Structure 1
Amino acid sequence: MKKVLIITYYWPPAGGPGVQRWLNFAKYLPQFGVTPVVYVPENPEYPMEDASFVAEVPKEVKVIKQPIFEPYKLASIFSKKKTQQISKGIITSKKQSFMEKMLLWIRGNFFIPDARKFWVKPSVAYLRSYIQKEGIDTIITTGPPHSLHLIGLHLKKELNVKWIADFRDPWTNIGYHSELKLSRRSQQKHKKLERDVLDNANRVVVTSFTTKTEFSTITNTPIEVITNGFLDEEFEAVSLDNKFTCAHIGSLLSGRNPLILWEAIGELLSENNDFAKDFRLRLAGAVSNNVLESIKKCGIGAHLEVLGYISHNEALKMQRSSQVLLLIEINAEKTRGIIPGKLFEYMASKRPIMAIGPVKWDVEKILNDTKTGFYFNYEEKNKLKKQLLSSYEAYKTDKLYVNSVGVSKYHRKNLTSHLATII
């Protein structure tokens, strides 16, 4: 069995999609002749936790830990809420307080590439001897936080191990990067570190087609696309909602506020009495006040149910019981390459997906290829409204279902098979 070291920040009990990718790779790699060893921080500051993931860690997977120093702990003395938001990558460009501006400036210019940079040197010192002692010849780093790639960069140069750099999100082209109030010198340093990582890795793995295209203009290192995926987990039977439920699972912050959707729903509610009687909008996850105000302004308030954060298991059940699943992305060129992890779970739920995002969004290609839903850009309100009404009419006659094709290639096991060939 070949042994591989996986260096990651997010690991159970961390919540959110970031932890699921490598948790499931670690789960399936032994079936393809690879033994994973996982290196994680001993005392991380996770912005959200989900205890249900702990039980999913295979007992045979060895997890090693070392302490980490995170300056977010010090910054939270001044503003705990804002610090937690920035640590999640949540940056609001509207009405920033002096404290928020200061935290962003410090975060962008003093902590390059990010505030977990202080884990790099002690990790290299610890892993240097561990890798030699255990006979490991392949390491994998996954970011964000992209500072973990610097651990891989140092180990590659010192030990000449094979190094795979996995980018779950872009680096300098990620949506919030331009909001960090970077000086010119800091911008140049980010770009240099990004190039160093891309050029020195033996292989780069990305989660979207757009990110591969963007990185291909920076480096000649081979790049593979391995998207996120789904599991065909066994559940007790879940009944479809009696109401025409349109559900969104995940954060809906100020930047991710699809006004065309709220307006289309509001118009249907006022024009169609039957639709108004049957419709329900369910939101699970963090929802900003701006989004809630927009929803209520469009006359949807009486039909709204806000659940807050729910566990992964609850989310999976909600996906299977909802009539329609909503997938929303920020309307920006930099988000074209963001493929939310929940897309694949949505696909596995066999419920129709309505996705709203930027022009040439990678999600459009996947939906069209698998016939699992419909995509709309932010200029297509009438088209979106027509599809909502069509889906409602199908719901009324018990004909709202999905005839998907080719979804199995996004199963976590099949994706791990691809990864194993790279290892």
Structure 2
Amino acid sequence: MNQHHALFVAFHVPPEASSSGVLRTLKYVRYLDDLGWRVTLLSLAVDAYDATDPALDSQLPASCRIVRTRYLNTKRHLSLARRYPALLALPDVWIGWLPWAVAAGRRLFQSDPFELVYSTSPHATAHLIALSMARRTRVPWVADFRDPWFEVPPEPGAPNGPLFRRIDRILERTVIESCDAVVTTTAQLRDMLRLRYPTQPAAKFTTILNGYDEKDFAALPGETRAGTSLVVVHAGTINAEFRDPQPFFAAVRRCIDAGVIEPDRVRVKFLGGGPFAESPGLKATVAQLGLEEIIEFVPRLPYAESLRELARADLLLLLQFSPDTSGLVPAKLYEYLR
């Protein structure tokens, strides 16, 4: 039996598959097992997830236990005529998970004490759950930030009134000042938090970059692509705010018109593009540019299958640009570079 025991509070755990964030937690758990740590994952009932990939479950070590709880989603359960009180969605719409998670964590500590609490965001509610657990148990707490808690300017669609911004700042400050260590996915995010909280020791903030697991690629069969077309692949969600493919579409059209690209020798695939990929407006743009035979939107694929698509591509496309995302590194970039 493993020597040490840690509690991980995370929304994105297998089989959740809507975010690459699930891989960060999955790989932590998988390789901590080799270092003598068994992990209990505290998460929500599986029906909270919009997308799942059951194959991810098989990567969890036998020592890992998942404790799932009930929850309330403010948008899903408290909306009236598609509107809901924004104050009940701070720091996010999953705040209704907190009471059940805290109760489950307390019961777990009584029956199987843990020596460390780790929480990861998004979603920030996980940090508030961990805050409560750390205060009750007095064990060390590591807060992992995959993205900023709040952004300046705010992320499109996020509550943006002075009251919301003030509450978010208070909550983030409470977490940063209460936890024992802060981990970020980029050096820029680490430095931003250091500057925002100068009274905290600089050594409290550290960066653990995202990456890739060579074992995931070793399982891929040797692929030889048939055909002569240039295949371009983009993996993951797209949106109109900072991952908008429409300028790329326009560039493809200009290249075709200039004779740089032969239209029957290029194909572009978007894997798991999300709601924006299925939107009538984006499809109309593709049609207006005459790219229907070139651009293909593929529904979300299991992780292993998406890696096979990346391996077969000639070019891998990365879309990300806005002032608030300039310092963030999408997890898929590491898989692209591999």
> Where on the TM-score scale, by shorter chain, does this alignment land: which range?
0.7 to 0.9
What is the alpha-carbon distance in structure 1 between the residues aligned to residue 325 and residue 119 of structure 2? 23
The amino acid that maps onto 1:223 is F
What is the alpha-carbon distance in structure 2 between the residues aligned to residue 77 and residue 247 of structure 1? 40
Per the normalisation by structure 1, the TM-score is: 0.70
Bigger mean CA offset, 251-260 vs 108-117: 251-260
Cα offset, 1:7, TM superposition: 1.0
Residue among 98, 107, 126 paired with 2:104: 126
Cα offset, 1:39, TM superposition: 1.4
Residue among 57, 60, 70 paired with 1:57: 60
Name the SS of the counterpart of 1:165 in structure 2.
strand
What is the alpha-carbon distance in structure 2 between the residues aligned to residue 318 and residue 175 of structure 1? 35
The amino acid that maps onto 1:3 is H
Give the corresponding residue for 2:22. Answer: 19
Contact 2:38 2:63 in 1 (8 A): no
Name the SS of the counterpart of 1:186 in structure 2.
helix
- Cα shift readout 1:225-276 (whole Å, capped 9, x = no counterpart): 1122212221111123531011111122222214442222112112227633
1:5-404 counterparts in 2 under 5 A?
5-16=7-18, 17-75=20-78, 78=81, 99=82, 102-103=83-84, 106=85, 108-173=86-151, 177=155, 179-219=157-197, 220-221=200-201, 222-232=204-214, 233=216, 234-240=219-225, 242=227, 243-255=229-241, 256-272=243-259, 275-285=262-272, 286=274, 287=277, 288-329=279-320, 331-348=321-338
Q: Which runs of 5+ in 1 are unaligned?
A: 79-98, 349-423
Contact 1:195 1:218 in 2 (8 A): no
Name the SS of the counterpart of 1:189 in structure 2.
helix
**Higher percent of residues as helix:** 1
What is the alpha-carbon distance in structure 2 between the residues aligned to residue 305 and residue 126 of structure 1? 44
- Cα shift readout 1:379-399 (whole Å, capped 9, x = no counterpart): xxxxxxxxxxxxxxxxxxxxx
Contact 2:43 2:101 in 1 (8 A): no
What is the alpha-carbon distance in structure 2 between the residues aligned to residue 208 and residue 257 of structure 1? 23
Report how many residues are paired: 322
Cα offset, 1:132, TM superposition: 4.6
Give the corresponding residue for 2:6. Answer: 4
The amino acid that maps onto 2:334 is F
Q: CA, structure 1 residues 339+274, in 2 after alignment: closer, same or farther (shift >3 Å)?
A: closer
Contact 1:257 1:291 in 2 (8 A): no
Contact 1:163 1:203 in 2 (8 A): yes
- Cα shift readout 1:198-231 (whole Å, capped 9, x = no counterpart): 1111101111222112211222251111122212
Q: CA, structure 1 residues 164+33, in 2 after alignment: closer, same or farther (shift >3 Å)?
A: same
Contact 1:144 1:167 in 2 (8 A): yes
RMSD of aligned residue pairs (Cα, Å): 2.3
What is the alpha-carbon distance in structure 2 between the residues aligned to residue 217 and residue 273 of structure 1? 47
Structure 1 residue ranges (4+ consecutive) displaced by more than 4 angstroms after TM superposition: 75-78
Identical columns (%)? 21
Per the normalisation by structure 2, the TM-score is: 0.87
Q: CA, structure 1 residues 266+178, in 2 after alignment: closer, same or farther (shift >3 Å)?
A: closer
